[in-house]
Structure 1
């Protein structure tokens, strides 16, 4: 149920600036952006009555310094919980329930090639482990696999690792995360055992991308590409490599702040700002047909 809550931009800006300074993965940039927000507020740039309009204005300023697309002030029509990170979990639960757990389509194409659509997100592992593993296990007998990430807007790095685990034969270092909190690095590895049947590390894999593919979906494409495990087909992705957390700063507003950055063990960098560059560039709407043709040719050889 939507409620009407009085908007006072000042406290929202102050709290967002404070959270930036304390948690943003790039401390020097955090100071610059916090100063910008305070200056813009003093100039009257945020003198609006609606929370949705304020979110749009503040997000534009948050992203104006270094183009970090995970850095935003998010508007929620319904009142959101105060608990850290709870707003996003609450907002995506319905998507999980109406998308078969994030795998809305599994299909076998001509030539024994399986297509798995992973959308609209790679949901938290504690939710997604069962449906994602079931879909991958079902497709494991195919001669080749196409992972369709064209409509995937991100999600959980642990779910990325689960998918990769089904497509590799041995435990493999996938990615590392440098966290601002404690200045520590945390490694992500594929798992030596998976639920159900494993597709394995030798049969062809193709990953479909679009300009909408974002965040953890980009990590999945990037990890498999850097390992030489998959061919990426489609469009350059959006370019967001910083894991984020969320803080409620108003009953309808959540400050989304990146708290870490990805470091790929093969490239030594990530896809932030550049996106994942496809191996086979083509319009997103043509990517499935192109990948299917490539897979059939590969299996014929």
Structure 2
């Protein structure tokens, strides 16, 4: 029995070795294939790249490198694709332009020959987008009635339209809207058009223009005169950006910035304003080829190479807190309703203490310890705790020299009241504006 096991293991090992070698051979890149890829790139660039003169320079550059043998030592096709991308971008400065090694995707696409194949391919594409909820990662109403949308892509309206409509209607009752594009790498201009339409009145607004080299044509995008549901045309909008915000996400930001419809907060964006698509070069390589360029109707230019500069520059990981604070402060300033001001002040205090913690010495905390009717405040190992009757005991942390938040409970806070430098009462503060008070027992 042991002999058979040994033979079986040996056969398995040989098969694995053979498979590994076969895969290695399949991955190996030849000089002839390099030539084919570069010839194909030259044809694609000269036929369709948005700037013909730049296309010629790029083609000449990689052909010259091939002739000099710069690519001769590259046997890994992934490395070859990466090197070509670097070399092409070195000439064009175009971050959209890239070469990829994608034999599986090419094979799948080339095998799609019948209507049934096309439907199956399309369904796989739609299902993959559904699993990401078409880029609508998170949607919520934050304290203070601030709407928040974490949008990771501007997906195809044909499939993602209903999700976008639902999201924008969900946000329509907000007092301010934050649209988070910090992790958004781009997508469809039509989705930009749809979402933007909810941020303006029904009178169409000119968003952007595009020049397309293949057809030597120009197109325009405007907001839609009709949308499903409720618009948020008067609601303040804040857009969060990062260095990773790219392409269509940049267009959305650039459009709203120049239309003075949103406040941009975060980092300067990636700098890609040339739309296009993927072309097959050979049976193993593809190129993402920019065939058009954006031309903003207000600036008559775009953000290519420069990115979109936000109104308020902060590190990307701080952008949400800054936008949230700015939204609440703006709403407080505009409101004459004291109840609404209190509503906005509640989360604002939490943001401020999060970014600038208040620290009190233990000697200052001692004066708060005591019994206040059914409420008890204790000082344990230098930390204050609050408990009502036999309920949950909460750790307290200060947001002023006499006001405290409860760790793990966002809807209630306490304020200590003093007379003649002596704490005499504890006041309960609730997020709905209600207050109550208990006098100190000891």
* TM-score, normalising length: structure 1: 0.92
Structure 1 runs of 4+ with >4 Å offset: 89-95
Deviation digits for residues 133-184 of structure 1 (CA, Å, limit 9, x no counterpart): 1111111111110000000001111111111001110211100001112321
Please state if 1:130 is matched with 2:156.
no
Give the direction of change, closer, same or farther, for the CA distance of 1:136–1:31 in structure 2 (3 Å limit): same
Please state if 1:269 is matched with 2:324.
no
Q: Give secondary structure in 1 for the equivalent of 2:271.
A: coil
**Shift of residue 44, structure 1, vs aligned partner:** 1.8
- Higher helix residue share: 2
- 2:229 pairs with 196, 204, 208, which one? 196
Q: How does 1:19-30 map to 2 (within 5 A)?
A: 19-30=44-55
**Shift of residue 246, structure 1, vs aligned partner:** 1.5
Q: How does 1:81-230 map to 2 (within 5 A)?
A: 81-82=109-110, 96-119=129-152, 121-169=153-201, 170-199=203-232, 201-230=233-262
How far apart are the structure 1 equivalents of 2:296 and 2:244? 21
Larger CA Rg, structure 1 vs 2:
2
How far apart are the structure 1 equivalents of 2:163 and 2:224? 17
Give the direction of change, closer, same or farther, for the CA distance of 1:90–1:19 in structure 2 (3 Å limit): farther
How far apart are the structure 2 equivalents of 1:42 and 1:138? 59
How far apart are the structure 1 equivalents of 2:163 and 2:284? 31
Deviation digits for residues 7-58 of structure 1 (CA, Å, limit 9, x no counterpart): 4111111001110000011001111111111111112222322221111010
Q: Give secondary structure in 1 for the equivalent of 2:90.
A: coil
Q: Give secondary structure in 2 for the equivalent of 1:64.
A: helix
Is the contact made by 2:103 and 2:283 (CA closer than 8 Å) also made in structure 1? no
Give the direction of change, closer, same or farther, for the CA distance of 1:95–1:176 in structure 2 (3 Å limit): same
Residue in 2 that maps onto 1:243: 275
- 1:63 pairs with 89, 96, 102, which one? 89
Is the contact made by 2:149 and 2:180 (CA closer than 8 Å) also made in structure 1? yes
Is the contact made by 2:58 and 2:92 (CA closer than 8 Å) also made in structure 1? no
**Shift of residue 254, structure 1, vs aligned partner:** 1.1
Deviation digits for residues 241-287 of structure 1 (CA, Å, limit 9, x no counterpart): 00012111133321111101100011111000110000010000000
- 1:76 pairs with 99, 102, 105, which one? 102
How far apart are the structure 1 equivalents of 2:229 and 2:104? 39
Is the contact made by 1:21 and 1:30 (CA closer than 8 Å) also made in structure 2? yes
Is the contact made by 1:102 and 1:132 (CA closer than 8 Å) also made in structure 2? no
In structure 2, stretches of 5+ residues that fail to align are 1-22, 113-117, 335-442
Give the direction of change, closer, same or farther, for the CA distance of 1:118–1:297 in structure 2 (3 Å limit): same
Give the direction of change, closer, same or farther, for the CA distance of 1:296–1:77 in structure 2 (3 Å limit): farther
Is the contact made by 2:273 and 2:302 (CA closer than 8 Å) also made in structure 1? yes
RMSD: 2.0
* TM-score, normalising length: structure 2: 0.64
Is the contact made by 2:211 and 2:219 (CA closer than 8 Å) also made in structure 1? yes
Q: Give secondary structure in 1 for the equivalent of 2:289.
A: strand
How far apart are the structure 2 equivalents of 1:212 and 1:90? 29
Q: Give secondary structure in 2 for the equivalent of 1:63.
A: helix
Is the contact made by 2:40 and 2:282 (CA closer than 8 Å) also made in structure 1? no
Please state if 1:49 is matched with 2:49.
no
Higher RCO structure (Cα 8 Å, ≥6 apart): 1
